[in-house]
Structure 1
Amino acid sequence: MKKLESAEQFQELKNTGKSVFLFSADWCPDCRFIEPFMPEVEEKYKDFTFTYVDRDQFIDICAENDVYGIPSFIAYQNGEELGRFVSKDRKTQEEIEKFIEAL
């Protein structure tokens, strides 16, 4: 999964093709819980570009997108929001895949 480097890159990825942003942080135990199976999720849904957004580094992007709990996911296609899975709850691989399939 690529890691977001700048706010400009966020806008570029958001507005180009199909993207899923994972809002996360290194210190978050529920974020660490999903790490082992995320490569499998990415492999399964290759039509999406997956990007890790560090909540602490990009707190402004989180606030602009109403992301106050992590881990959270927001999906976009060509600038339009397709859906969001935003909460502070621990997420299972099944729940994440169900979210992506519903987009």
Structure 2
Amino acid sequence: MRDLTSTEEFHELAANSPVVFMFTAGWCPDCRVIDPIMPEVESTFSDYTFVSVNRDAFIDLCIEKDIYGIPSFLAYANGSESGRLVSKDRKTQEEIEAFLSNLSK
């Protein structure tokens, strides 16, 4: 999973490719729990580019996109939001995969 480097990169990726943004933070224990499963999830859903968004570095973007809990996922396809899994709750691999399976591309 690559790291987001700028707000401009966020908007470019959202406009041009099927992408899933994972909002996270180094201090978030629930985020660390899902880190080991994400390579398998990314492999299963290889049609998407997965991008890690550090909540602390991109707090304005989080506010703009109504991301108030982490870990959270925001997906885009064809230039518009195609789904969101946003809450402060811990996510399981099954929940993440079910979310991704229901996205329209």
Please state which band the TM-score falls in when normalised by the shorter chain: over 0.9
Separation of aligned partners in 2, 1:6 and 1:80: 19
Q: 1:78, CA displacement in angstroms?
A: 2.5
What secondary structure is seen at the aligned counterpart in 1 of 2:46? coil
Equivalent pairs: percent with the same residue? 61
What TM-score do you get using the length of structure 1 for normalisation?
Answer: 0.99
Relative to the length of structure 2, the TM-score reads: 0.97
Post-superposition shift, 1:79? 1.8
Q: How do residues 10-89 of structure 1 correspond to structure 2 at under 5 angstroms? A: 10-89=10-89
| Alpha-carbon shift at residue 18 of structure 1 (Å) | 0.3
Amino acid at match of 2:86: V
Return the letter of the residue paired with 1:82.
S
Partner SS for 2:81: strand
Q: How big is each residue's C-alpha offset from its partner over 1:11-41, in whole Å with a ceiling of 9 and x where there is no partner?
A: 1111112000000000000000000000000
Q: Which ranges of 4 or more aligned residues in structure 1 deviate by more than 4 Å?
A: none
Residues paired across the two proteins, number? 103
**What corresponds to 2:92 in structure 1?**
92
2:13 partner amino acid: L
Q: Distance in 2 between matches of 1:16 and 1:40?
A: 24
Alignment deviations for residues 40-98 of structure 1 (CA, whole Å, 9 cap, x no partner):
00000010000000000000110000000000000001321000000000000000000
> Which sections of structure 2, spanning at least 5 residues, go unmatched?
none
Q: Which stretches in structure 1 are left out of the alignment for 5+ residues?
A: none
